[in-house]
Amino acid sequence: MDAQATELLGKVINPCTGASIADEDRIESVTFKGDELVVKYKRDGIPNKEKQEMEGAMLECLSQVCSVDDIYILSSSTEKKLTGEQTEQKEQSEPKAAPHSHAGSLPAKKKLEQVDHIIAVASGKGGVGKSTFTTNLAVTLKNAGYKVGVLDADVYGPSIPMLFGKRTEKPKVNDEQKILPLESNGVQFISFGLFVEEHDPVIWRGPMLGGVLKQFLFDVSWGKLDFLIIDLPPGTGDMQLSLAQTLELDGAVVISTPQDVALLDATKGLNMFKKINVNILGMVENMSTFVCSSCGNEHDIFGSGGVEKACEKLETNYLGSIPLELELRLSADEGKPYMANEKFQDRSVYKSYVQVANKLVKEVGAKEKKGTISKIFNKLMN
Ligand SMILES: Nc1ncnc2c1ncn2[C@@H]1O[C@H](COP(=O)(O)OP(=O)(O)OP(=O)(O)O)[C@@H](O)[C@H]1O
Ligand SMILES: [Mg+2]
């Protein structure tokens, strides 16, 4: 099996040189550990964009011998260790605006001309806090002076209208027959939940999902936005695939709780995004440490630090952790986003959101704004 996997892997082409990775002697080891397949390869000289593309191709070919969910691809770079700074600079000078112009036979992806950055929020498992994160990230970015929109792509359980406190308002259509998004707390949003009654059962089939996604992307009058945040359904299904095939994204943020089971699911999610050539901006640990307001002690209800460790193992950016807090849950239920409430400014959840948003802004290379997130970040941290 190891030999078969090594042979398959060897045929993958380095997009920078056009040579196979076997010819370039890049494979360090290919090892089955039980059901899991761990691949280590030398990444020297391959910038981030091409690395993602190449690892997508590796997953594609290794899926013949192992389930994609069980494949771990780890890269090492001696060049990076020796001349770390120069390599980082080289990566950062990659054109950020077109990170997904992949070679090969993938269908052309569209851009949203008036939107500078598009970030998808994903998770392997349901109920880990994607929608809560999406809403509060959007408000955090808006607080920093950015124009922000939210697209609720969770057609199975759209919760964005509830989280923004607009469950009953209906969107209007303008003279050009474009749907006007609703606005809440300075953030524009659209959701399938605005078009159906809350308890109407809707049965979705693959092509229908692609249709509704395209409508929300291209038939909504988004106007000029700095950020569009897309709240995805849990897991790795048709909606994720449709999104990856339709649109040029900056990348996906994967949310996970610190528990092992949630982390395993998140790992599957990461692999799926790699396979369909979606850039992974990083992972966020949600519902980590809980600070009890009555006893003042910290409790790691779902564990803590697991996501950071997984990021190290998977060589993925760790964006930070959001503690578990009762008021965050209560404000979500009330439809009043936590980050819109200045009275929480001294709380660790508030600071964590600013910290994560700050990292994301840097990661996608967004332009500085008047109320820049780093200024807010520095003010809060001092
Ligand atoms: N850090 C947190 N502290 C406390 N409660 C939280 C936190 N994050 C999320 N929650 C709560 O957890 C529940 C699930 O969150 P949410 O609906 O955002 O998850 P989801 O991943 O979008 O779920 P689904 O997969 O069903 O779409 C909600 O009640 C939310 O208020
Ligand atoms: Mg959700």
Which protein residue has the closest C-alpha to ligand 1 atom 23?
Answer: 127
Using the mean position of ligand 1's atoms as its centre, give its distance from the Cα of residue 315 in Å. 26
Residues having CB closer than 6 A to ligand 1 are 123, 126-132, 154, 157, 159, 234, 286-287, 322, 324-325, 328-329, 332
Closest ligand relative to 255 C-alpha: 1
- 3-state SS class at 348: helix
**CATH of the structural domain 2-92, one choice from 3.30.450.20, 3.30.300.130, 3.90.550.10, 3.40.30.10:** 3.30.300.130
Q: Is the pLDDT of residue 190 over 60?
A: yes
Chain segment 138-152, per-residue pLDDT in tens = 999 999 999 999 999
As a whole number, mean pLDDT of residues 295-318 equals 82
> Mutate which of 290, 329, 348 to test ligand 1's pocket (most atoms within 8 Å of Cβ)?
329
Using the mean position of ligand 1's atoms as its centre, give its distance from the Cα of residue 153 in Å. 16
Chain segment 320-329, per-residue pLDDT in tens = 999 999 999 9
DSSP conformation letters of 179-248: BPPEEETTEEEEEGGGTS-TT------HHHHHHHHHHHHHSB---SEEEEEEEPPSSSSHHHHHHHHHB-
> Mutate which of 123, 130, 132 to test ligand 1's pocket (most atoms within 8 Å of Cβ)?
132
- Whether the model clears a pTM of 0.85, i.e. scores above it, the answer is no
What is the share, in percent, of the chain residues with pLDDT greater than 90?
47
In degrees, rounded to 5, the angle at the alpha carbon of residue 179 between the alpha carbons of residues 195 and 188 is: 85
DSSP conformation letters of 57-107: HHHHHHTTTS-GGGEEEEEE-HHHHHSHHHHHHHHHTS-TT-TT---SSPP
Element (H, E) at 138: helix 130-143
Residue 43: the pLDDT is: 87
Which protein residue has the closest C-alpha to ligand 1 atom 31?
Answer: 329
Residue 131: the pLDDT is: 98
Chain segment 72-108, per-residue pLDDT in tens = 888 776 543 333 333 333 333 333 333 333 333 345 6
Q: Is the pLDDT of residue 339 over 80?
A: yes
Task: Tell me what the pLDDT averaged over the chain comes to.
Answer: 84
Using the mean position of ligand 1's atoms as its centre, give its distance from the Cα of residue 109 in Å. 31
Residue 267: the pLDDT is: 80
**Could you state, in order of their start, the residue ranges of all structural domains in the chain?**
2-92, 115-381
CATH topology (fold) of 115-381: Rossmann fold (3.40.50)
